Amino acid sequence: MFIGAQVSLYPMTSDFIGVILSGLEALAPYRDRLRIETDDISTLMVGAPGPLFDAIRDLFARTARGPAHVTLHATLSRGCPGEPDDPICRCETLTRAQDLPLTERQALALAAVRAAPVLGVEIDVQFSLYVMGEDRHMDKIYGCIDFVKTSGCFLKSKNFCTRLRGDAGAAFETVRQAFLRFGPAEGHVTIDLTASANSPSPR
Amino acid sequence: MFIGAQVSLYPMTSDFIGVILSGLEALAPYRDRLRIETDDISTLMVGAPGPLFDAIRDLFARTARGPAHVTLHATLSRGCPGEPDDPICRCETLTRAQDLPLTERQALALAAVRAAPVLGVEIDVQFSLYVMGEDRHMDKIYGCIDFVKTSGCFLKSKNFCTRLRGDAGAAFETVRQAFLRFGPAEGHVTIDLTASANSPSPR
Protein backbone atom coordinates (compact mmCIF):
# COMPACT_ATOMS: atom_id res chain seq x y z
CA MET A 1 0.00 0.00 0.00
CA PHE A 2 1.22 3.46 -0.87
CA ILE A 3 -0.63 6.47 0.57
CA GLY A 4 0.15 10.14 0.31
CA ALA A 5 -0.57 13.55 -1.09
CA GLN A 6 0.86 16.39 -3.12
CA VAL A 7 0.02 19.48 -1.06
CA SER A 8 0.26 23.18 -1.97
CA LEU A 9 -0.51 26.24 0.14
CA TYR A 10 -1.56 29.49 -1.53
CA PRO A 11 -1.63 32.60 0.68
CA MET A 12 -3.15 35.52 -1.26
CA THR A 13 -0.76 38.11 0.14
CA SER A 14 2.51 39.66 -1.00
CA ASP A 15 4.05 38.09 2.13
CA PHE A 16 3.13 34.60 0.89
CA ILE A 17 6.64 33.22 1.53
CA GLY A 18 6.44 34.25 5.20
CA VAL A 19 3.00 32.71 5.62
CA ILE A 20 4.09 29.45 3.96
CA LEU A 21 7.25 29.14 6.07
CA SER A 22 5.27 29.80 9.25
CA GLY A 23 2.67 27.24 8.20
CA LEU A 24 5.33 24.60 7.60
CA GLU A 25 6.25 24.74 11.30
CA ALA A 26 2.94 22.96 11.94
CA LEU A 27 4.37 19.88 10.22
CA ALA A 28 7.13 19.42 12.85
CA PRO A 29 5.21 16.90 15.03
CA TYR A 30 4.60 14.66 12.01
CA ARG A 31 8.01 14.55 10.36
CA ASP A 32 8.98 11.24 11.99
CA ARG A 33 5.84 9.53 10.62
CA LEU A 34 5.71 11.06 7.16
CA ARG A 35 8.14 11.29 4.27
CA ILE A 36 8.06 14.94 3.23
CA GLU A 37 9.67 16.35 0.06
CA THR A 38 9.09 19.82 -1.38
CA ASP A 39 9.62 21.18 -4.89
CA ASP A 40 8.52 24.40 -6.59
CA ILE A 41 4.90 23.22 -7.12
CA SER A 42 3.93 21.05 -4.16
CA THR A 43 5.01 19.14 -1.09
CA LEU A 44 4.85 15.36 -1.21
CA MET A 45 3.71 13.75 2.03
CA VAL A 46 3.78 9.95 2.24
CA GLY A 47 2.38 8.04 5.20
CA ALA A 48 -0.65 6.54 6.92
CA PRO A 49 -3.95 8.49 6.81
CA GLY A 50 -3.67 9.28 10.56
CA PRO A 51 -0.63 11.55 10.49
CA LEU A 52 -1.19 12.46 6.81
CA PHE A 53 -4.56 14.17 7.31
CA ASP A 54 -3.56 15.56 10.73
CA ALA A 55 -0.51 17.20 9.14
CA ILE A 56 -2.45 18.72 6.23
CA ARG A 57 -5.15 19.93 8.63
CA ASP A 58 -2.66 21.54 11.02
CA LEU A 59 -0.72 23.14 8.15
CA PHE A 60 -3.89 24.73 6.86
CA ALA A 61 -5.38 25.63 10.27
CA ARG A 62 -2.17 27.41 11.25
CA THR A 63 -2.28 29.69 8.20
CA ALA A 64 -6.07 30.07 8.34
CA ARG A 65 -5.72 31.77 11.73
CA GLY A 66 -3.83 34.66 10.09
CA PRO A 67 -5.67 37.51 8.45
CA ALA A 68 -4.73 36.61 4.86
CA HIS A 69 -7.02 34.78 2.48
CA VAL A 70 -5.39 31.38 2.07
CA THR A 71 -6.22 28.22 0.18
CA LEU A 72 -4.68 24.76 0.22
CA HIS A 73 -4.85 22.15 -2.50
CA ALA A 74 -4.10 18.46 -2.03
CA THR A 75 -4.03 15.59 -4.51
CA LEU A 76 -4.54 12.57 -2.22
CA SER A 77 -4.00 8.98 -3.35
CA ARG A 78 -4.05 5.47 -1.94
CA GLY A 79 -3.40 2.17 -3.63
CA CYS A 80 -2.14 3.52 -6.97
CA PRO A 81 -0.93 0.40 -8.83
CA GLY A 82 2.08 2.35 -10.12
CA GLU A 83 3.48 3.05 -6.65
CA PRO A 84 5.58 0.70 -4.47
CA ASP A 85 4.49 -0.73 -1.12
CA ASP A 86 5.75 1.35 1.78
CA PRO A 87 5.50 0.19 5.44
CA ILE A 88 5.12 3.83 6.61
CA CYS A 89 1.64 3.80 5.00
CA ARG A 90 0.26 0.83 6.95
CA CYS A 91 -3.29 1.54 8.16
CA GLU A 92 -5.42 -0.93 10.13
CA THR A 93 -8.62 1.11 9.78
CA LEU A 94 -8.36 0.88 6.05
CA THR A 95 -7.90 -2.88 6.05
CA ARG A 96 -10.71 -3.63 8.47
CA ALA A 97 -13.26 -1.08 7.25
CA GLN A 98 -13.97 -2.85 4.01
CA ASP A 99 -15.43 -6.04 5.53
CA LEU A 100 -18.33 -4.06 7.00
CA PRO A 101 -21.67 -3.27 5.37
CA LEU A 102 -22.13 0.25 4.03
CA THR A 103 -24.43 1.43 6.85
CA GLU A 104 -21.87 0.37 9.47
CA ARG A 105 -19.06 2.12 7.62
CA GLN A 106 -21.18 5.27 7.45
CA ALA A 107 -21.87 5.05 11.21
CA LEU A 108 -18.16 4.61 12.02
CA ALA A 109 -17.26 7.53 9.76
CA LEU A 110 -19.83 9.71 11.53
CA ALA A 111 -18.53 8.69 14.96
CA ALA A 112 -15.01 9.68 13.88
CA VAL A 113 -16.21 13.13 12.77
CA ARG A 114 -18.04 13.62 16.10
CA ALA A 115 -14.85 12.71 17.97
CA ALA A 116 -12.70 15.12 15.93
CA PRO A 117 -10.85 17.84 17.87
CA VAL A 118 -12.30 21.36 17.70
CA LEU A 119 -9.57 23.65 16.36
CA GLY A 120 -11.57 26.88 16.56
CA VAL A 121 -10.96 27.79 12.89
CA GLU A 122 -13.90 27.76 10.48
CA ILE A 123 -12.96 26.76 6.96
CA ASP A 124 -14.53 25.97 3.60
CA VAL A 125 -13.65 22.74 1.80
CA GLN A 126 -14.46 21.45 -1.68
CA PHE A 127 -13.55 17.91 -2.66
CA SER A 128 -14.06 15.11 -5.18
CA LEU A 129 -13.65 11.40 -4.41
CA TYR A 130 -12.52 9.10 -7.23
CA VAL A 131 -12.69 5.30 -6.96
CA MET A 132 -10.92 3.51 -9.80
CA GLY A 133 -10.67 -0.03 -11.13
CA GLU A 134 -14.34 -0.75 -10.41
CA ASP A 135 -17.33 -1.27 -12.68
CA ARG A 136 -19.75 0.34 -10.25
CA HIS A 137 -17.60 3.14 -8.87
CA MET A 138 -20.55 5.53 -8.41
CA ASP A 139 -22.10 3.24 -5.75
CA LYS A 140 -19.09 3.97 -3.53
CA ILE A 141 -19.27 7.67 -4.28
CA TYR A 142 -23.01 7.90 -3.57
CA GLY A 143 -22.51 5.94 -0.32
CA CYS A 144 -19.85 8.45 0.64
CA ILE A 145 -22.05 11.44 -0.26
CA ASP A 146 -24.81 10.05 1.98
CA PHE A 147 -22.33 9.99 4.88
CA VAL A 148 -21.05 13.48 4.11
CA LYS A 149 -24.59 14.87 4.17
CA THR A 150 -24.96 13.70 7.79
CA SER A 151 -21.48 14.81 8.87
CA GLY A 152 -22.52 18.24 10.16
CA CYS A 153 -20.08 19.86 7.70
CA PHE A 154 -22.09 19.43 4.50
CA LEU A 155 -22.79 22.75 2.77
CA LYS A 156 -23.96 21.82 -0.75
CA SER A 157 -23.41 19.64 -3.78
CA LYS A 158 -21.76 21.25 -6.81
CA ASN A 159 -20.96 19.93 -10.26
CA PHE A 160 -17.99 17.55 -9.93
CA CYS A 161 -17.52 18.08 -6.18
CA THR A 162 -19.02 18.50 -2.72
CA ARG A 163 -18.76 21.57 -0.49
CA LEU A 164 -18.14 21.43 3.27
CA ARG A 165 -18.05 24.21 5.84
CA GLY A 166 -17.12 23.86 9.47
CA ASP A 167 -14.39 23.69 12.05
CA ALA A 168 -11.10 22.53 10.53
CA GLY A 169 -11.12 19.51 12.86
CA ALA A 170 -14.48 18.14 11.70
CA ALA A 171 -14.02 19.18 8.07
CA PHE A 172 -10.69 17.37 7.60
CA GLU A 173 -11.99 14.34 9.54
CA THR A 174 -14.93 14.16 7.12
CA VAL A 175 -12.54 14.08 4.16
CA ARG A 176 -10.31 11.47 5.86
CA GLN A 177 -13.31 9.20 6.47
CA ALA A 178 -14.38 9.61 2.83
CA PHE A 179 -10.87 8.58 1.77
CA LEU A 180 -10.71 5.56 4.11
CA ARG A 181 -14.12 3.93 4.10
CA PHE A 182 -15.71 4.26 0.67
CA GLY A 183 -13.55 2.29 -1.75
CA PRO A 184 -11.94 -1.18 -1.64
CA ALA A 185 -9.09 -1.54 0.88
CA GLU A 186 -6.70 -2.52 -1.91
CA GLY A 187 -8.34 -0.26 -4.48
CA HIS A 188 -7.03 2.89 -6.13
CA VAL A 189 -8.79 5.85 -4.51
CA THR A 190 -7.94 9.52 -4.93
CA ILE A 191 -9.27 12.83 -3.65
CA ASP A 192 -8.96 16.29 -5.21
CA LEU A 193 -9.24 18.66 -2.22
CA THR A 194 -9.36 22.44 -1.88
CA ALA A 195 -9.60 24.22 1.49
CA SER A 196 -10.20 27.96 1.81
CA ALA A 197 -10.25 30.48 4.66
CA ASN A 198 -10.64 34.24 5.05
CA SER A 199 -12.03 34.75 1.56
CA PRO A 200 -13.35 38.26 0.92
CA SER A 201 -15.99 36.80 -1.45
CA PRO A 202 -19.61 36.86 -0.26
CA ARG A 203 -20.51 33.45 1.22
CA MET B 1 -22.32 13.97 -22.15
CA PHE B 2 -21.47 16.56 -19.53
CA ILE B 3 -18.03 18.22 -19.62
CA GLY B 4 -16.63 20.99 -17.50
CA ALA B 5 -14.34 22.18 -14.76
CA GLN B 6 -14.25 23.90 -11.41
CA VAL B 7 -11.47 26.49 -11.81
CA SER B 8 -9.73 28.66 -9.21
CA LEU B 9 -7.03 31.30 -9.66
CA TYR B 10 -4.62 32.06 -6.82
CA PRO B 11 -2.45 35.17 -7.22
CA MET B 12 0.12 35.31 -4.40
CA THR B 13 -0.11 39.09 -3.96
CA SER B 14 -2.10 41.39 -1.70
CA ASP B 15 -3.71 42.75 -4.90
CA PHE B 16 -5.16 39.30 -5.67
CA ILE B 17 -8.65 40.67 -6.31
CA GLY B 18 -7.34 43.02 -9.01
CA VAL B 19 -5.33 40.25 -10.66
CA ILE B 20 -8.31 37.87 -10.63
CA LEU B 21 -10.70 40.47 -12.07
CA SER B 22 -8.21 41.35 -14.81
CA GLY B 23 -7.72 37.66 -15.59
CA LEU B 24 -11.45 37.09 -15.90
CA GLU B 25 -11.51 39.51 -18.87
CA ALA B 26 -9.74 36.77 -20.82
CA LEU B 27 -12.93 34.68 -20.59
CA ALA B 28 -14.98 37.20 -22.62
CA PRO B 29 -14.49 35.50 -26.03
CA TYR B 30 -15.74 32.19 -24.62
CA ARG B 31 -18.84 33.23 -22.71
CA ASP B 32 -21.23 32.36 -25.54
CA ARG B 33 -19.89 28.79 -25.72
CA LEU B 34 -19.48 28.05 -22.02
CA ARG B 35 -21.81 28.19 -19.03
CA ILE B 36 -19.84 30.08 -16.38
CA GLU B 37 -20.86 30.39 -12.71
CA THR B 38 -18.68 31.70 -9.89
CA ASP B 39 -18.91 31.20 -6.13
CA ASP B 40 -16.49 31.90 -3.29
CA ILE B 41 -14.31 28.82 -3.99
CA SER B 42 -14.26 28.25 -7.75
CA THR B 43 -15.71 29.08 -11.13
CA LEU B 44 -17.73 26.38 -12.89
CA MET B 45 -17.20 26.25 -16.64
CA VAL B 46 -19.36 23.84 -18.64
CA GLY B 47 -18.82 23.21 -22.36
CA ALA B 48 -16.92 21.34 -25.04
CA PRO B 49 -13.17 20.72 -24.56
CA GLY B 50 -12.35 23.22 -27.34
CA PRO B 51 -13.55 26.43 -25.68
CA LEU B 52 -13.17 24.94 -22.18
CA PHE B 53 -9.39 24.41 -22.33
CA ASP B 54 -8.85 27.56 -24.41
CA ALA B 55 -10.67 29.61 -21.77
CA ILE B 56 -8.72 28.11 -18.86
CA ARG B 57 -5.45 28.58 -20.78
CA ASP B 58 -6.17 32.21 -21.63
CA LEU B 59 -7.31 32.98 -18.08
CA PHE B 60 -4.04 31.63 -16.72
CA ALA B 61 -1.79 33.04 -19.46
CA ARG B 62 -3.21 36.53 -18.92
CA THR B 63 -2.33 36.51 -15.22
CA ALA B 64 0.97 34.69 -15.76
CA ARG B 65 2.21 37.68 -17.80
CA GLY B 66 2.03 39.87 -14.68
CA PRO B 67 4.87 39.94 -12.18
CA ALA B 68 3.00 38.12 -9.40
CA HIS B 69 3.44 34.45 -8.59
CA VAL B 70 0.14 32.91 -9.63
CA THR B 71 -1.29 29.40 -9.67
CA LEU B 72 -4.48 27.98 -11.12
CA HIS B 73 -6.25 24.82 -10.09
CA ALA B 74 -8.87 23.01 -12.15
CA THR B 75 -10.95 19.93 -11.40
CA LEU B 76 -11.88 18.74 -14.91
CA SER B 77 -14.53 16.10 -15.58
CA ARG B 78 -16.24 14.42 -18.50
CA GLY B 79 -18.91 11.75 -18.53
CA CYS B 80 -19.71 11.75 -14.81
CA PRO B 81 -22.76 9.44 -14.52
CA GLY B 82 -24.32 11.81 -11.98
CA GLU B 83 -24.45 14.76 -14.40
CA PRO B 84 -27.14 15.42 -17.06
CA ASP B 85 -26.53 15.47 -20.81
CA ASP B 86 -25.88 18.99 -22.10
CA PRO B 87 -25.74 19.85 -25.83
CA ILE B 88 -23.19 22.63 -25.14
CA CYS B 89 -20.65 19.86 -24.34
CA ARG B 90 -20.88 18.06 -27.69
CA CYS B 91 -17.41 17.10 -28.95
CA GLU B 92 -16.77 15.22 -32.20
CA THR B 93 -13.08 14.60 -31.44
CA LEU B 94 -14.03 12.77 -28.30
CA THR B 95 -16.54 10.53 -30.05
CA ARG B 96 -14.29 9.62 -32.95
CA ALA B 97 -10.99 9.28 -31.08
CA GLN B 98 -11.94 6.12 -29.27
CA ASP B 99 -12.32 3.91 -32.36
CA LEU B 100 -8.63 4.32 -33.14
CA PRO B 101 -5.75 2.16 -31.93
CA LEU B 102 -3.60 3.61 -29.15
CA THR B 103 -0.62 4.46 -31.38
CA GLU B 104 -2.85 6.46 -33.72
CA ARG B 105 -4.44 8.33 -30.80
CA GLN B 106 -0.97 9.13 -29.48
CA ALA B 107 0.07 10.43 -32.94
CA LEU B 108 -3.03 12.64 -33.23
CA ALA B 109 -2.48 13.99 -29.74
CA LEU B 110 1.12 14.85 -30.62
CA ALA B 111 0.05 16.58 -33.86
CA ALA B 112 -2.41 18.71 -31.87
CA VAL B 113 0.32 19.79 -29.45
CA ARG B 114 2.63 20.69 -32.37
CA ALA B 115 -0.17 22.79 -33.88
CA ALA B 116 -0.86 24.64 -30.62
CA PRO B 117 -0.50 28.42 -30.65
CA VAL B 118 2.62 29.88 -29.04
CA LEU B 119 1.50 32.30 -26.34
CA GLY B 120 4.95 33.43 -25.25
CA VAL B 121 4.39 32.60 -21.57
CA GLU B 122 6.36 29.74 -20.01
CA ILE B 123 4.45 27.91 -17.32
CA ASP B 124 4.71 24.87 -15.07
CA VAL B 125 1.90 22.34 -14.94
CA GLN B 126 1.23 19.33 -12.71
CA PHE B 127 -1.66 17.00 -13.43
CA SER B 128 -3.23 13.63 -12.70
CA LEU B 129 -5.52 11.76 -15.08
CA TYR B 130 -8.21 9.49 -13.59
CA VAL B 131 -10.17 6.98 -15.69
CA MET B 132 -13.09 5.43 -13.82
CA GLY B 133 -15.51 2.56 -14.32
CA GLU B 134 -12.84 0.35 -15.92
CA ASP B 135 -11.09 -2.78 -14.73
CA ARG B 136 -7.83 -1.90 -16.44
CA HIS B 137 -7.74 1.84 -15.89
CA MET B 138 -3.95 1.99 -15.62
CA ASP B 139 -3.55 0.89 -19.27
CA LYS B 140 -5.21 4.15 -20.33
CA ILE B 141 -3.09 6.15 -17.92
CA TYR B 142 0.19 4.53 -19.05
CA GLY B 143 -0.79 5.09 -22.72
CA CYS B 144 -1.36 8.74 -21.88
CA ILE B 145 1.96 9.03 -20.01
CA ASP B 146 3.77 7.65 -23.08
CA PHE B 147 2.21 10.41 -25.19
CA VAL B 148 3.03 13.10 -22.62
CA LYS B 149 6.68 12.04 -22.59
CA THR B 150 6.91 12.81 -26.32
CA SER B 151 4.90 16.05 -26.14
CA GLY B 152 7.88 18.37 -25.76
CA CYS B 153 6.43 19.64 -22.45
CA PHE B 154 7.29 16.66 -20.24
CA LEU B 155 9.44 17.64 -17.25
CA LYS B 156 9.29 14.67 -14.87
CA SER B 157 7.12 12.05 -13.23
CA LYS B 158 6.22 12.59 -9.59
CA ASN B 159 4.25 10.50 -7.13
CA PHE B 160 0.55 10.73 -8.07
CA CYS B 161 1.07 13.17 -10.96
CA THR B 162 3.10 14.29 -13.98
CA ARG B 163 4.99 17.57 -14.38
CA LEU B 164 5.02 19.63 -17.57
CA ARG B 165 6.94 22.80 -18.41
CA GLY B 166 6.60 24.84 -21.56
CA ASP B 167 4.70 27.52 -23.40
CA ALA B 168 1.14 27.87 -22.12
CA GLY B 169 -0.16 26.97 -25.61
CA ALA B 170 1.58 23.60 -25.81
CA ALA B 171 1.21 22.79 -22.12
CA PHE B 172 -2.58 23.23 -22.03
CA GLU B 173 -2.92 21.42 -25.38
CA THR B 174 -1.04 18.47 -23.87
CA VAL B 175 -3.52 18.32 -20.99
CA ARG B 176 -6.51 18.67 -23.33
CA GLN B 177 -5.26 15.75 -25.44
CA ALA B 178 -4.76 13.65 -22.31
CA PHE B 179 -8.36 14.43 -21.31
CA LEU B 180 -9.81 13.64 -24.76
CA ARG B 181 -7.99 10.62 -26.10
CA PHE B 182 -7.08 8.27 -23.25
CA GLY B 183 -10.32 7.00 -21.77
CA PRO B 184 -13.57 5.65 -23.28
CA ALA B 185 -15.68 8.25 -25.16
CA GLU B 186 -18.61 7.60 -22.84
CA GLY B 187 -16.44 6.93 -19.80
CA HIS B 188 -15.99 8.97 -16.65
CA VAL B 189 -12.61 10.73 -16.90
CA THR B 190 -11.29 13.46 -14.61
CA ILE B 191 -8.14 15.54 -14.33
CA ASP B 192 -6.69 17.27 -11.27
CA LEU B 193 -4.63 20.15 -12.74
CA THR B 194 -2.35 22.77 -11.22
CA ALA B 195 -0.60 25.47 -13.28
CA SER B 196 2.05 27.79 -11.85
CA ALA B 197 3.99 30.83 -13.09
CA ASN B 198 6.50 33.31 -11.67
CA SER B 199 7.32 31.16 -8.65
CA PRO B 200 10.27 32.45 -6.63
CA SER B 201 11.19 28.83 -5.72
CA PRO B 202 14.34 27.41 -7.31
CA ARG B 203 13.39 25.36 -10.36
- CATH code of the domain containing A73: 3.30.70.930
Q: What's the pLDDT at B70?
A: 98
A94 is in an annotated binding site: no
Note whether residue A200 is domain-resident.
Answer: no
Full residue range of the structural domain in which residue B110 is found: 3-197
Residue type, B191: I
Q: What's the pLDDT at A133?
A: 77
Listed as ranges, residues in chain A with pLDDT below 50 are none
**Which residues of chain B are within 8 Å of residue A134 when distances are taken between CB atoms?**
132-133
B interface mutation test: which of A15, A41, A139, A191 has the most B CBs within 10 A? A41
Note whether residue A99 is domain-resident.
Answer: yes
Using CB atoms, pick whichever of B5, B16, B130 lies closest to residue A12: B16
Q: What's the pLDDT at B53?
A: 98
| Number of domains into which chain B is organized | 1
Residues with Cβ within 8 Å of A125's Cβ and at least 6 positions away in sequence, in order, are A153, A163, A164, A165, A171, A172, A174, A175, A193, A194, A195, A196
Residue A114 Cα, gap to closest chain B Cα (Å): 25
Distances, alpha carbon B74 to alpha carbons A135, A136, B100, B192, in Å: 26, 25, 28, 6
- Among B19, B72, B16, which Cα is nearest to B45's? B72
B44 is in an annotated binding site: no
Q: Cβ of A138 and B82 within 8 Å?
A: yes
In chain B, the residue whose alpha carbon lies closest to the alpha carbon of A83 is B159
Residue A100 Cα, gap to closest chain B Cα (Å): 23
Helix (H, G, I), strand (E, B) or coil at A5: strand
Listed as ranges, residues in chain B with pLDDT below 50 are none
Q: Chain A neighbours among B 95-134 (CB < 8 Å)? A: 124, 126, 128, 130-134
Q: What's the pLDDT at A203?
A: 66
Note whether residue A179 is domain-resident.
Answer: yes
Q: What's the pLDDT at B142?
A: 85
